[in-house]
Amino acid sequence: MRWLGCIRLVAMALALISVGFGSAAAQLTSDFMPKGGKTLFLEVFGAAPDAATLAEITGAKRSEEDWNKLLAARDSGLTKKALLTLASYLAVNMPLAQEAAETAAKAGDIAPALPADGRELAWFQCQTCHSLFAGYLTQDRKLEGWRNTFRSPFHRELPLSEQEREEFSHYSTINMPMQFQDVPAELRF
């Protein structure tokens, strides 16, 4: 009986420790990662861009190079890496469906109409199966290397569209790997 009580006590202590760790991990956000294109879009153009700007941005299909030139001319104050991230996001994800853009414009908030960016896709997809740190944040790959990730049998089954896979690959090429010290200690495993 005495052993049974000790086992229960140890089990309860372990449960409390795991709950404490779980709640600490649940409080983490992706803010330590470089900003994705959606976040940068909202910083540069705002949640409610004027109609002309909204039409120019969401209604056009351009190459990364063309987006980069257009964004550089805006003097957005973005770093080179952030500018590349936003240009890449726009090249992969624009144009938006006209109806979605118009509905968002009427609501005064374009954010819900914008596709997920690479940071969001990594945060909400990668760590459901493996360590975000070892499996993603520390990887240094070229664009084709990131695309190849989705060709493996395991990753082919992920519920991501081709556009999302391309967005993830472009974001990751520009923004990974991260420096060890820039990753929260709770994620370094």
One pLDDT digit (tens) per residue for the chain, 189 residues = 444 333 443 344 344 344 343 434 457 899 999 999 999 999 999 999 988 898 899 999 999 999 999 999 988 899 999 999 999 999 999 999 988 888 888 899 999 999 999 999 999 988 878 888 878 899 999 999 999 999 988 888 888 999 999 999 999 999 999 999 999 999 887
* Cα distance between residue 175 and residue 170, in whole Å: 9
Which amino acid, 113?
A
* Cα distance between residue 16 and residue 151, in whole Å: 40
> Comparing C-alpha atoms, which of 150, 166, 169, 170 is closest to residue 158?
150
> Comparing C-alpha atoms, which of 54, 48, 84 is closest to residue 67?
84
Structure tokens at 185: 């200690």
